Every structure is written in structure tokens, then in C-alpha cells.
Structure 1
């Protein structure tokens, strides 16, 4: 880099140390958990490697130390405020790792502290050197729901409509329903993990990387990001069109994953080629401006290089890193303690089907239903008792993550049975079923489908609190109370159990509670 002096060994070691600690704070915090839980962010694990490569590639051009400068009281006050905000966000992001606004603010806060430290050590040149590669993180953060509703969802719906039109023109009847396409061979969705937003965000990450690696001007970087987004849309359109064609042959599952990876690879390759093309044009433009010395831009003067980092700056940096590390360690210890407490102090129960019954048939969970429910435990079976009435039961357990905050309320008999053609005939109220450590409330209903009736009972249970699972509500204040209640109780995950039981006909009402009690067993 012209106009910048070489750094001394002491500065090089300290900057490397700062970068390593900042990267560790980001990766060991909520970003890594978000990448692990969200299929759309699976490409996020590539971001640390790309950032590390960019830092390594530009290590010879690192800036020198600037003149010594004292750390004022304002810097310490700002640091204190930032650390308090970081503590609150870190506590909230453990039970809510995919909360987009909180993830973005927390990440921006940590990056901001690192850039302030770089500015204190090496001035504006240090900020540019450290912050440029961190732009890659923009594409590996969860995007707010408003962005998806305004940008992603309309694109998906347009792809589905266009694919349906092409299929109809080709003589294959198809109907677009939201972001999916209905064909004779089945549904072709656009929301699966290997397509859609993952391709788009991965292409944006690739564009940001090439823009920084090739040192492109900002206008060309914007063009590159737009080209990457278009490549992702085109690749995903080709994927859905191909799967719609294969669906007519009945082997959709065979090609599903492969088509997704091809679409992803297409968007990344196209983005890289466009980036290299932008670099070539920028290089030719720079060469065209060289003949006249008067047309060349004046080079900025070299910064003043100090011999060592002032003690006050070092203390400020060490304080920030130590406190952030303490926040990370304390948060993990707090929630680990909470998990151990509820598992050892709250009585647990499970369900045991009548395995000795010769009519018992276990029912596996379909792949599409598994992707929708994402359970940790699933068991389903049907059997007949002496009265020859058919029984069926489903038992679902969520132990980790946040799926249970919504899935049990969206996928229980009152929701799923009407979608399958059943009509709610009568609500029978709540019955309390006894077990070894108390009672479990079951909601009971009568459903009808044509001439058949079905007696249905189900319970939603929170094994973390040892009581019925409650839905979130109460407006913004109620929502905030629920968030902080989980923090106070150190609930990193939302565990839940859903047990549904059905008897064909109406004759089982009198013995329903006894039947349910016989299936529930305490966990020793």
C-alpha cells in the first residue's frame, strides 16, 4: 500500500491478537448458534475462513502505529455503555438465537468495539485494514422478517407462478400456490434449505468477498452484489423448473438435494466470474489514466509511526476483551446451570405404547413432516383394544432449540385434523389425567369426517416448568415479559411435549382418562 509505512513487530503482534480475540468473540457467541440452527445460514461457516484469508492476504500492507494519544473519559464511558448493552443482548440471544435485530445489533456492537480499538492504535488506516474483510458478515446474519416479506417472498411467488405457466405450456398441468407448485407428481416447494434465500445470501457473501479481495470501487461492488442476487434467482428458477419436470416422473426425492446444490454452485460461479470481470475493467481504466502525471491523484502522506502502543489504549483494549470474554463465559454458565436444574428437579414423563398388543402398528414420520416439525423424539402408533375400536396416538418431544415456541400450537389436532377433511363437532372441555407426580390437562374434542366420528384428546406440556405449555401473548409488554422471564429462569431451550390420542367412535369417553393414564410413564 503506497503512503503507509511498515508496522513495527510490536504493533503486528498486538493487531493479530486483537483480531483473533474479536473473531473468537463473534464465532463463540450467537452467530455460531444461529448458523447451526437456521438452514438458511448454513453457508455462514465459510465466512470466518474468508475473513481470515483476507487479513492474511493483506498482512504485508498493514498500517503502522499512529502517534501516541491518551484515552479520554468519554471513551471509557462509551465502553461501559457498550458492554452493558452487550450483556443484555447476549443474555437474550441465548434463548432467542435467531432474533434478527438482536443478532445484527450485537454483531455490530462487537465489530464497532474492534474498529474503535483499531482506530486508537492505527487511525483511519487501521479501521480500513481491519474492517474491510468484516463486510463479509453482512451476508451471514439472519435477515429481518420485513426484508423477507418485502423482497424474498415476492421473488419466490414469482418463480412459482412462472414455473407453473411453463409447465402448463409444456402440457403438464400445474398450479402455483404461494411459493410452491402443485403438479400431478406432487408438490415442488421453494422454501427448502438448499434453495431460495440460502442461494441468495451465499451469493451476496461471495460478492462481498470478491469486492474486498479485488479492491473494487464501491460502485462496482454494488453491481457485483446485484449480479450475485440475480444469479441466485436464476439458479433457483432453474432448480424449481427442473424439479417440476422430474416430479412428473415420480422421482422428485432422488433429484431434490442435487438440484439445490447445482443452483447454489451456479450462483457462486457466476458471482465470481462477474467479480473478476469487474476487476479487469477497473484495471484497464486505471491503466488508461496513467500517461499524464497531472491526472494522477496525489498520494496521502505517510502516517506518523509511534514506537509503542500507549498504556492507556492497551488498558482500554484489554478491559473490553476481558469483560466480553467474561460475559460470554458467564452467559454460558448461567444457562447451563438452568438446564441442569430443570432436568434434575422437575419430574418428567414419557409415553409407552402397548407393545404386547398384537394389533399394534408403528407409523413412521414422513420426511416433509419431519422438516416441518423438527422433533427430537417422535412416536406414532395405532392399535385395537377388546372393544375393537381403533386407537391412535402421537407423541412428540422437543428438547433443544426454539421450534417448540410455535410448532405445538401450529401442528396439533385442532389445526391438522380440519386440514385433513375433519370437522369439529363438539368441544368436550378439559380432563385432568393422573400420573405419578400430579395431573396433566388434556383438551378433548369430537371430530367428524363424513359418517365417522373421532374422540380426540391432546396435551401440550412444558417439561422445563412442569406444567402446561403456554402460548405467548399479551402484546409488546407481555412479549418482553416472556423474554426476560426466560432469561431469569435460564431457559436456553424451549422444551415441549405433545401427546395426542384418538379413539374411533364415541364410546370411549368414559374410559378416556384411564386409557391415557395407562400410557403415561414417569421417567426415573
Structure 2
């Protein structure tokens, strides 16, 4: 006689495959969870998801049955087959130095689809319901694509800045807002991404979903809890920026830095208290109005027994997934010796001819970009350093050079009150006898028109970017990385601002002369 327990055990390869997908996702996201303050909360997501799964399985024991639907079973196997086939190309892209967040979402969606398909095949609709919430909760930890972040953060930064200025005026203090920068009598306060609400909104999403699951609220209750979480995050952020502005008024920049972390804890406290109170109210309300549910119906073991062919397919899927992952890594191991050698810095900032070089780069910028070498170029008048007119960053060859590729003038400068006032052009100019390609941005800032010369070099080659497109992935570089097996590269950014009088845009010769004043060659070939 067939042993039904043995038949169910033969489907375990599907769960090994699903576990492999989630380990793959955690490994892919670990870098951002560790290095990006916006996503530090990601490390809390996997243990919470496992806890939710354990509690759901504990309350649903004995309620599992086979799917009993051949069409649905076939669809589930198709989902598994597609997810296995996608492992090779997705991992090929992930192995490149270009950190593309939609690729992380591809891994997350593959893991979710594969897990839900395995749940259907091994336990039918009952098991699918058990896994649904924990699986979807795991996606909360996947970093948002950069274009989504920008669409959320820039408007929030501007709104928070305007509201803060209005509140400061009500308190009787002078303040003005230009973009996301609040100018006070004795200092300026920049409403960065961390203070804009982006980080708090992401945390609010996780806290709201987690609280709804812990309170076991129904769908409507969870939606209300999410709304409360977002409202608390917005209120908390406004309070945070107001604290920093008042600190700046009373103590200048030093006071702003001293209060920065404390103000962040205020946001977290407001969020947790508000969501916790709403969850407690929702749980009490549900207890008063809900009817007791019937106990789960026991199902026979035979009802959950899969066909013999499913067991063979389960092992085949596991082996195919392992081979796909191994194949992607083998490609890089084989092609790595053909990769272009990384380049040392080609440019260096000039400390002569009216400029001075220092390393006083704001900690917020260094914390996001993490360059290995960095410097600001400041204009001097009578030997006194004034405003910064340029910068130079360099990242040594290593895996994971990611964040800097997504920080570009057309994305970052508008947040500081600058807008592009014309078409971005690419100009080749000679510095120290060598040719360098710069992107020339026509900006209009608070003080009038200016050109920004922005050069970015990957392994010594200028990066091709379509500035009129919202697509962040450079497909040409991506194809080159995959073809040559490149996992590491050096990256260099050199930029400077060239103000000019209204209606007197500099000529190419004047632009080149200015670039030669600000930068010189490093002498490293």
C-alpha cells in the first residue's frame, strides 16, 4: 500500500527551492539593509515574516487538503517552471556591479510566486492562505526602485520645508525655503531624504502591516491601520524638521547636528505609539463585533497525497534551480579574466588659481555615497574660502559600487532649488593634455543661471546616460559587464558649477578654460 506520508515528503524539494529563493533575496538585499539608513529596518522583516508564518500554521493545523484542481495545479507548475527559468538571467544581472533595484524586486516576486505555488500544490487553498500574508510581508523589505523613491521623496521634502517655514513664521522667527533648503538667520537646514518622510513612510508600511497581522485584523481594519501609520509618519516628520529648525535658530549648525538623531527617535516614538494605539483599538473592536469562527475541519491524509509525477517534477525543479544559479556564477568565473582593468583617479581638484580644496563634505552625503576619496573645491576671495563650486569623488574597485550610480545632477539638484533650464549636452575638453568628456547641465538656481560640468567615469571610460529618460539602467554598460564578466569597477565623478550673467552663456572655449582652473590631471595613467 502507498504511504501517503512518504508521498507528501517527496514534495519537500519544492520547499527547499522556495527557501533558496528567500535566501537569495536576503543575500541580494543585505548590502542595502546594512549600508542604507533608509533600509536598515529590512533586517527585521525576515524574522517577523517567519513569526507570522509560525503563528498562522499553529492555528491552522489539521486544516490542510490537496488542491484537487488539475487546471490550478498545472498553473502552479507553470509558475514554478517560469521562476526556475528566470534564475539564470536575473542572477546574471545581479552579479554585475550595476545595482539595479528592479532586479531585487524580480527576485522577490520570483520567491513569492514560487512559494505560493508550492503552498497550493502541497496544501491547497488552506495552505495558500496561511502563506499569503507572510510572503507578501517579505516584500516590504525590498528597496524601492529609485524612480519611485524620487517620486515620493522630492515632493515630500518640498512640502515639509514649506510647512516648517510656515510654522516658524507663526512662532515669530524669520525663515525662507528654496527647494528643500530652509534658510535661517544663522544657518541653513537641509530637508534631506532621511527627514523628508521617505524613511518614515517605509518604516510606517512595515509597522502598519506587522501590527495588523499581530492584531489579526480583517482587511478593512488593516487598511485603516496603514492609513494611521502613514499619518503618524507625516506628523512625526513635521515635528522632526521643526525641532531641527528651532535647534538651528538657537544654536546654529552645531545644534542641528546635535539634535538630528534625537529628532529621529521622536518620529519613531510617534509612529509606534500611534500605530500601537490604533491596533489595540482595532483588536478590541473586532472582539466585540466578530462572531466566533468554526474550528478547522480535519481532512484525511489521502486527500493531501500528490500524484507520483508531481514528486518527480519537484526534484526536477530543485535541480534546475540549482543548475541555473551555478551557471550564472560559472559564467562570471570563466569571463572574469577578460574584464577591463579598473582605472585609478584621472582627475584631481586644483588648489590654485582662486580655488582651495578641502575635505569638509557634509556627513549626510558621505553616508549615502561612501566614496573612498573625496574633496570639495571652494572659491576664495582674498584667501578666504567661500562657497563650494565643485567636488571630486572616487570609489576604488570593489563589488557593490551601487548608490553613486543613481545620484545624478538631474535627480539631486532640483531638491536644492535648482532646475534644468535647457538641454543637457556632452562636451569633450582637454585638461592637462588629455581629453575628458563632461555633461554640461544648464541650471537656473536661486542666484541665477549657471552651468554644471559633470563628468562620471567607469573604469576610466565616460558613462553614457540618457538624461531625458526616466530609465536608470544603462543597458550598454550592463551588457558589457555581463559579456566580460565584470563584477568590480572603479568610479570617478568630477563636477563644478560655473555661474554666468543673465543672457551671457559661456562659449565652449570659456567652459574648457574654467574646467582647467578647477581640475588638473592626477598623473596616474
TM-score greater than 0.5 by the shorter chain: yes
Secondary structure of residue in 2 paired with 1:521: coil
Match of 2:50 in 1: 52
Q: 2:270 aligns with which of 266, 270, 277?
A: 266
Which of the pair has the greater relative contact order for Cα pairs under 8 Å at 6+ separation?
2
Shift of 1:513: 12
2: CA distance between counterparts of 1:376 and 1:107? 31
Cα distance change of structure 1 residues 320 and 383 upon mapping to structure 2, 3 Å threshold: same
Gaps of 5+ in 1: 1-6, 290-295, 385-391, 420-426, 445-455, 503-507
Q: CA RMSD in A?
A: 5.3
Cα distance change of structure 1 residues 336 and 200 upon mapping to structure 2, 3 Å threshold: farther
1:496 equivalent in alignment to 2:491? yes
Cα distance change of structure 1 residues 26 and 354 upon mapping to structure 2, 3 Å threshold: closer
Match of 2:186 in 1: 185
Shift of 1:212: 1.8
Q: Spell out, residue by residue over 1:180-219, the C-alpha distance to the aligned partner (whole angstroms, 9 max, x if none).
A: 4332233333333265111111111111112222221111
Structure 2 length-normalised TM: 0.71
2: CA distance between counterparts of 1:232 and 1:457? 35
Cα distance change of structure 1 residues 338 and 244 upon mapping to structure 2, 3 Å threshold: farther
Match of 2:372 in 1: 376
Q: Spell out, residue by residue over 1:151-180, the C-alpha distance to the aligned partner (whole angstroms, 9 max, x if none).
A: 665444333222211111211112233444
Q: Which moved more, 1:51-60 or 1:64-73?
A: 64-73
1:316 equivalent in alignment to 2:313? yes
Q: How does 1:183-222 map to 2 (within 5 A)?
A: 183-193=184-194, 196-222=197-223
Residues 396 and 497 of structure 1 are in contact (CA less than 8 Å); yes or no, is this contact kept in structure 2? yes
2: CA distance between counterparts of 1:393 and 1:365? 11
Cα distance change of structure 1 residues 16 and 57 upon mapping to structure 2, 3 Å threshold: farther
Cα distance change of structure 1 residues 145 and 514 upon mapping to structure 2, 3 Å threshold: closer
1: CA distance between counterparts of 2:377 and 2:213? 56
Gaps of 5+ in 2: 381-388, 419-424, 441-450, 498-509
Match of 2:26 in 1: 27
Secondary structure of residue in 1 paired with 2:465: coil
Residues 396 and 498 of structure 1 are in contact (CA less than 8 Å); yes or no, is this contact kept in structure 2? yes
Shift of 1:262: 2.2
Match of 1:139 in 2: 140
Match of 2:386 in 1: none
Q: 2:101 aligns with which of 95, 99, 102?
A: 99
Cα distance change of structure 1 residues 203 and 500 upon mapping to structure 2, 3 Å threshold: closer
Residues 394 and 500 of structure 1 are in contact (CA less than 8 Å); yes or no, is this contact kept in structure 2? yes
Secondary structure of residue in 2 paired with 1:275: helix
Residues 67 and 304 of structure 1 are in contact (CA less than 8 Å); yes or no, is this contact kept in structure 2? no
Q: How does 1:105-504 map to 2 (within 5 A)?
A: 105-143=106-144, 153-193=154-194, 196-249=197-250, 250=252, 251-286=255-290, 289=291, 301-306=297-302, 310-332=307-329, 334=331, 341-342=338-339, 344=341, 348-349=344-345, 362-370=358-366, 374-379=370-375, 395-399=392-396, 400-404=401-405, 406-407=407-408, 430-432=428-430, 460=455, 462-464=457-459, 466-472=460-466, 481-482=475-476, 484-489=478-483, 490-492=485-487, 495-499=490-494
Shift of 1:398: 3.0
Q: Spell out, residue by residue over 1:65-117, the C-alpha distance to the aligned partner (whole angstroms, 9 max, x if none).
A: 534979876655543333334443443445554434x5434422321111111
Cα distance change of structure 1 residues 277 and 94 upon mapping to structure 2, 3 Å threshold: farther
Q: Which moved more, 1:72-81 or 1:476-485?
A: 476-485
Cα distance change of structure 1 residues 58 and 460 upon mapping to structure 2, 3 Å threshold: same
Shift of 1:319: 3.6
Secondary structure of residue in 2 paired with 1:396: strand
2: CA distance between counterparts of 1:112 and 1:330? 22
Cα distance change of structure 1 residues 337 and 210 upon mapping to structure 2, 3 Å threshold: farther
